[in-house]
């Protein structure tokens, strides 16, 4: 913060080492579906490629620059197959050709090769890379019991394998850190030359077993990152909005969407991802920052512009036509 209480942001380097303006802009990512929730919990969750595309248009029009994709079969079941990722991504890019594409690799009980095959084949701009193992649970104070409870295993051997596959595909890792140890886990990978600065980190708070959803926790996680890193907050549950506000004050970026939280700041359930992005955009603007365009997001994340869409277009669908 400066003397007037305004957030102070670093100068970042774009591709080719060109100096970019301070982070007066804020990148909004939206995670449009996830894999755990269904329409009984939130009717707006998309299942089909056409529904994904319509949600992407709503979110993009509201200010989102990056889409984080978990694929589903048209009946809503989670899919890790290349075919569903391809169909969904093509549908989204026909609707919003400019958006930055980010694929998930997070899964439990799925063979490692299957968790990354869609990235190796389709080559999105960003690929999620979970940075460590953890208990992953949800607790119900009403039931006085865990709603679910499992171990999310991401040993270094798996992280290195996924990172090598992303590097071979020319895909930038989005390092998902659920706690301080996950931030520190980036250091040996950078030293090995596998993780290449500037690093993009997602600081995830609010998952039971990881960092709690508190502004001071987020500030501490951000303070551990290298000075040339870019980062976003991923806040789970209705506490998302106070963490979005904290991230904008700290000079970070933000992620919202139906994967992380169904509810608007008013407590009303969102009718679309666009509603959530619009609420985030209002917070960003109230902080004195400006919502980043897709081109500005690529510059700050050191991504090629224009992106190479040829791996996704190979079946004959030309993006933008």
- pLDDT (0 to 100) of residue 6: 29
CB-based contacts of 299, cutoff 8 Å, min separation 6: 14, 15, 20, 305
Confidence of residue 10 (pLDDT cuts 50, 70, 90): very low
Quick one: pLDDT at residue 22? 47
Q: Does residue 89 surpass a pLDDT of 80?
A: yes
- Better pLDDT: 321 or 109: 109
What pLDDT, on the 0 to 100 scale, is given for residue 3?
Answer: 34
Residue boundaries of the structural domains of the chain: 20-313
Fold classification of 20-313 is TIM Barrel (3.20.20)
Q: How confident is the model at residue 316 (pLDDT cuts 50, 70, 90)?
A: low
207 and 161 Cβ atoms separated by less than 8 Å: no
Our measurement of the distance from residue 268's CA atom to the centroid of its chain's CA atoms, rounded to an integer in Å, reads 23
Does the pLDDT at position 179 exceed 80? yes
Banded model confidence at residue 108, pLDDT cuts 50, 70, 90: confident
In whole angstroms, what is the distance from residue 136 CA to residue 293 CA? Answer: 34
Name the pLDDT band for 318 (thresholds 50, 70, 90): low
Query: DSSP characters for 3-41?
Result: TTS----PPPB-GGGPBPPPS-EE-EEEE---SS--TTT
pTM for the full predicted model = 0.91
pLDDT of residue 286: 96
Cα dihedral sign, 253-272-69-155? positive
Instruction: Choose between 21 and 135: higher pLDDT.
Output: 135
Average pLDDT over residues 12-23: 41
Inform me whether the pLDDT recorded for 219 exceeds 80: yes
- Spatial separation of the C-alpha atoms in residues 175 and 70, rounded to whole Å: 16
């Amino acid at each position: 913060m400066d003397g007037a209480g305004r957030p102070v942001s670093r100068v970042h380097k774009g591709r080719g080492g060109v100096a970019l303006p301070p982070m007066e802009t804020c990148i909004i990512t939206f995670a449009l579906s996830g894999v755990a929730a269904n329409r009984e919990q939130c009717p707006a969750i998309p299942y089909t490629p056409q529904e994904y595309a319509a949600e992407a248009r709503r979110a993009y029009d509201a200010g989102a620059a990056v889409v984080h994709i978990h694929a589903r079969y048209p009946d809503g079941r989670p899919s890790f197959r290349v075919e569903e990722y391809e169909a969904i991504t093509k549908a989204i890019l026909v609707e919003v050709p400019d958006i930055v594409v980010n694929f998930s690799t997070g899964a439990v009980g799925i063979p490692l090769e299957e968790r990354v095959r869609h990235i190796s084949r389709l080559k999105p701009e960003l690929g999620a890379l979970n940075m460590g193992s953890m208990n992953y649970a949800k607790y119900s104070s009403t039931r006085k019991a865990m709603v679910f409870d499992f171990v999310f295993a991401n040993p270094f051997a798996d992280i290195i394998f996924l990172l090598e596959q992303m590097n071979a595909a020319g895909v930038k890792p989005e390092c998902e850190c659920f706690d301080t140890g996950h931030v520190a886990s980036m250091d040996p990978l950078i030293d090995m030359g596998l993780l290449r600065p500037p690093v993009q980190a997602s600081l995830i708070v609010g998952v039971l077993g990881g960092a709690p959803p508190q502004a001071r926790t987020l500030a501490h996680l951000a303070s551990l990152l290298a000075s040339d890193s870019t980062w976003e907050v991923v806040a789970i549950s209705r506490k998302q909005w106070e963490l979005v506000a904290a991230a904008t004050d700290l000079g970070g970026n933000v992620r919202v969407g139906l994967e992380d939280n169904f509810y608007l700041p008013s407590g009303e359930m969102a009718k679309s991802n666009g509603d959530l992005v619009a609420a985030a955009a209002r917070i960003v603007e109230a902080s004195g920052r400006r919502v980043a365009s897709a081109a500005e997001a690529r510059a700050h994340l050191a991504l090629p512009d224009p992106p190479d869409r040829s791996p996704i277009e190979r079946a004959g669908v030309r993006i933008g036509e």
